[in-house]
Structure 1
Amino acid sequence: MNFHAIRAIYNFEMARTWRTLLQSIIAPVISTSLYFVVFGAAIGSRIAQVDGVSYGAFIVPGLVMLSLLTQSISNASFGIYFPKFTGTIYELLSAPVSYREIVISYVGAAASKSILLGLIILATAGLFVPLHIEHPLWMILFLVLTAVTFSLFGFIIGIWADNFEKLQLVPLLIITPLTFLGGSFYSIKMLPPVWHTISLFNPVVYLISGFRWSFYGTADVHITVSLAMTLAFLAVFLGIVAWIFKTGYRLKS
């Protein structure tokens, strides 16, 4: 394992975050804070508790997960697409760096940025609502697993995309709607039976449910199911990345 190469690529990607601090950190935190103001304060004051939790506190895990998913995909997809766009990806592929080290570097940097952002948003949420985390280790586990899993997904999108518009296609048209419909602002138990069943086909439901359970001990699906689904997504994306490097898909042309 070439740790020098991993550290060099990782540090380069993290340095880009500090150069674009306004876009990478400050903007997502401000937009999430607006959700707290609108949903938590304005609307939340008119809604009774959900599963014994105040509405303002109930939406915190969903909002963190919303930012975590979108930022993980965005960071990883842009990180690998830009070298393709400039042509420097071929220098990287011809260097004495294995595919495994490339994935660890780019995905690790994207996941680190997302985890940092998630923790900042959690701290920001504490300014608006009282936070209580019943299972902090489980919370960290879901935070890390989700960040790594969807950074891998973003890595795949960055390799697949052949223009900047496609980088935003999946997050805007698929991930964001699935997150809003996955119980970010409500419990799927509140839905009619038919829509409750349909919601269970939404993969984001399991991520938000498991993450919310780590806060309040309440969830829409059992914690073991949420964890199993998260690990399944991770395995699928790892398999796709392995196939991409094995076949050279969108890398050797």
Structure 2
Amino acid sequence: MNIHAIKAIYKFELHRFGRTMLTSLFVPAITTSLYFIVFGSAIGSRMREVDGVPYGAFIVPGLIMLSMFTESISNASFGIYMPKFTGTIYELHSAPVSPLETVIAYVGAAATKSVIIGLMILATAYLFVWVPIAHPLAMLGFMVLIAVSFCLFGFILGIWAQSFEQLSVIPMLVVTPMTFLGGAFYSVHMLPEPWKTITLFNPVVYLISGFRWTFFGKGDVAMDVSLAFVAAMLVVCFGVIVWMFRTGYRLKK
């Protein structure tokens, strides 16, 4: 394992994040505040509790996941796309760095950024409402797993994309709508049939539910099912990346 190469890429990616840290942290804080003003005040004044949890606190896990999904995909996809765009990807191919070390470095840096932003959103939420965390270690662990999973997906997207427009089409047209329809701001149990059953086919439901369980000890689905979905996403994404490197898919052209 080339630890020096991993550290070099990891530090380079975090340095890029450091140059825009103020904006990267300020924007999620403002966005979170706006969500609390709209959802917490306007809707929360009419819907006091959801599953016994104050509505203002109930939406916090969903807000964190909404930002982490998009940030994880964006950070990881942009990180690997830029070497392709500038042509430095060929230097990476010729360097004594294995595909596994490349993935660890890029995905690790992107996941670190996403977790920092997630914690920033959580800190901002405490300015508006008290949020109990029933299982703090599980919360951090689940946050890291989600960040790594979506960073792997973003890494795949960065390799697949052939333009900056393609980098944003999946997060904007697929991930964000699935998050809003995946119980980020409401409980699936509140939906009438057949919408309740249809919603359960949305994989994001299981991710948000598992993360919400770490806060309140309850979720829309069982925690072991949520963990199974996260594990499946990790395995599938990693398998796709292995195939991409073995075949050179859009990496050597």
Deviation string, structure 1 residues 157-191 (Cα, Å, up to 9, x no partner): 00000000000000000000000000000001000
CA deviations over 1:57-96 (Å, ceiling 9, x no partner): 0000000000010000000000000110000010011101
Task: Look up the match of 2:180.
Answer: 180
The 5-angstrom pairing of residues 137-176 of structure 1 reads 137-176=137-176
Q: 1:23 to 1:84 in 2, by over 3 A?
A: farther
Match of residue 135 from structure 1 = 135
Cα RMSD for the two superposed structures: 0.8
Query: What residue identity is the alignment partner of 1:134?
Result: A
Q: 2:224 is matched with which residue?
A: 224
Q: Which residue of 1 aligns with 2:252?
A: 252
Superposition map of 1:50-199 within 5 A? 50-199=50-199
Q: Which runs of 5+ in 2 are unaligned?
A: none
Structure 2 match to 1:12: 12
Distance change (3 Å), C-alpha of 1:23 and 1:157: farther
Distance 2:35 2:187 in 1: 17
**How far 1:36 moved relative to its partner?**
1.2
Taking the aligned partners of 1:83 and 1:181, their CA distance within structure 2 comes to 34
For residues 23 and 172 of structure 1, the distance between their equivalents in structure 2, rounded to whole angstroms, comes to 20
Q: What's 2:40 paired with?
A: 40
Secondary structure (helix, strand or coil) at the match of 1:219 reads: coil
How does the TM-score come out when normalised to structure 1? 0.98
The one-letter amino acid paired with 1:149 is S
Deviation at 1:120, TM superposition (A): 0.9
Runs of 4+ in 1 over 6 A off after TM superposition: none
Tell me the SS of whatever aligns to 2:220. Answer: coil
Q: Does residue 24 of structure 1 match 2:30? A: no
Report how far residue 137 of structure 1 moved.
1.5
Q: Report which stretch shifted further, 132-141 or 9-18.
A: 132-141
Query: What is the TM-score of this pair, normalised by structure 2?
Result: 0.98
Structure 1: which 5+ residue stretches go unaligned?
A: none
Residue identity matched to 1:144 = V
> Matches of 2:3 and 2:148 in 1, distance apart?
19
Q: Distance in 1 between matches of 2:6 and 2:26?
A: 27
Q: CA deviation digits over 1:102-148, x for unaligned, max 9?
A: 00000000000000110111011011111100011211111000000
Distance 2:58 2:233 in 1: 25
